[in-house]
A = this chain, B = another copy of it.
């Protein structure tokens, strides 16, 4: 009998992170809700779960800085964590009401949600519920609980929340942008799929600190050009060690055991204060 995989995610139950975890690992894995993104990292690092799943970027809101900053933390127990896979989740928001709640839009006096889905449905809400009060709560799950207690209230959340808390979808897909997605990273101690030989889809993430000098960023991009490596993403974060000092996060096509990638990493090491490989995985899109 197979042991079910244990997965840590940013709780509570029925969040977008939970939805992403189920999409990645299937319904038979065991899913453990964590109170924060750091808790997902530490639970994974301590071996309490096989993998953790964390949001890293939303196509409207940009980077999830809490997640990037965890990779930059100096805690020794986090040092060997690797990015094992990635996952893209379309963000669909719905207007939910309880079984004893409003029967139609005109009955709604109050809408609960987390600030992010609320902001992402702003246009629909202003058009369809112009006189309604909005209240921000700590999670979409909490919004569902609050809506259940108030017969004049609705919540904004995903389909999972409706199913789990017994609410009805009064208006589906009310998000303003139809392209909105969140990218998640799966973290653990080993890759989720083999990347070697997958030249087209293999992606590697590195983090580096640039020596403070003219043209440093150009020197970095020159190395990627020289070895024919396409940078898919570059993002900087404060080092938190001194003011206006940055770490750069770079994703590129390739994997470290490829000869040209190995040589590029060696040159990057010479050119920068330090380089850390965060992991390799098969690109989903």
The residues of A with any CB-CB pair to B shorter than 8 Å are 58-62, 65, 177, 179-181, 214-215, 217-218, 221-222, 224-225, 230-231, 234-238, 240, 242-244
The reply to whether A60 and B238 form a contact with Cβ atoms under 8 Å apart is yes
For the residues of A in contact with B, the DSSP-based class is: mixed
The reply to whether A238 and B181 form a contact with Cβ atoms under 8 Å apart is no
Residue of B nearest to A220 (CB): B221
Q: In the assembly, what is the distance between CA of A215 and CA of B153, in Å?
A: 51
Q: In the assembly, what is the distance between CA of A211 and CA of B155, in Å?
A: 39
Report which of B60, B65, B218, B236 forms a contact with A240, defined as CB distance below 8 A.
Answer: B60
Give the chain B neighbours of A238 by CB distance below 8 A. Answer: 58-62
Q: In the assembly, what is the distance between CA of A60 and CA of B238, in Å?
A: 6
5 extra interface residue pairs, beta carbon distance < 8 Å, beyond A62-B65, A180-B243: A62-B238, A179-B242, A214-B230, A217-B221, A217-B231
Q: In the assembly, what is the distance between CA of A218 and CA of B215, in Å?
A: 12
Q: In the assembly, what is the distance between CA of A87 and CA of B50, in Å?
A: 47
Identical chains bound together, number: 2
Smallest CB–CB gap between A37 and chain B, Å? 14
Q: In the assembly, what is the distance between CA of A225 and CA of B58, in Å?
A: 32
Report which of B65, B180, B225, B230 forms a contact with A61, defined as CB distance below 8 A.
Answer: B65
Smallest CB–CB gap between A120 and chain B, Å? 11
Give the chain B neighbours of A65 by CB distance below 8 A. Answer: 61-62
Of all A-B residue pairs in the complex, the 8 with the closest CB atoms, nearest first, are A59-B243, A218-B221, A179-B243, A218-B225, A221-B221, A214-B230, A62-B238, A181-B243
Give the chain B neighbours of A243 by CB distance below 8 A. Answer: 59, 179-181
Give the chain B neighbours of A217 by CB distance below 8 A. Answer: 221, 231, 234
Q: In the assembly, what is the distance between CA of A99 and CA of B237, in Å?
A: 41
Q: In the assembly, what is the distance between CA of A177 and CA of B245, in Å?
A: 14
The reply to whether B62 and A244 form a contact with Cβ atoms under 8 Å apart is no
Q: In the assembly, what is the distance between CA of A67 and CA of B225, in Å?
A: 32
Smallest CB–CB gap between A209 and chain B, Å? 15
Q: In the assembly, what is the distance between CA of A33 and CA of B43, in Å?
A: 44
Residue of B nearest to A177 (CB): B240
- Provide 20 A-B residue pairs closer than 8 Å at the C-beta atoms, listed in order of the A residue: A59-B238, A59-B243, A60-B238, A60-B240, A61-B65, A61-B238, A62-B65, A62-B238, A179-B242, A180-B243, A181-B243, A214-B230, A215-B225, A217-B221, A217-B231, A218-B218, A218-B224, A218-B231, A234-B234, A234-B236
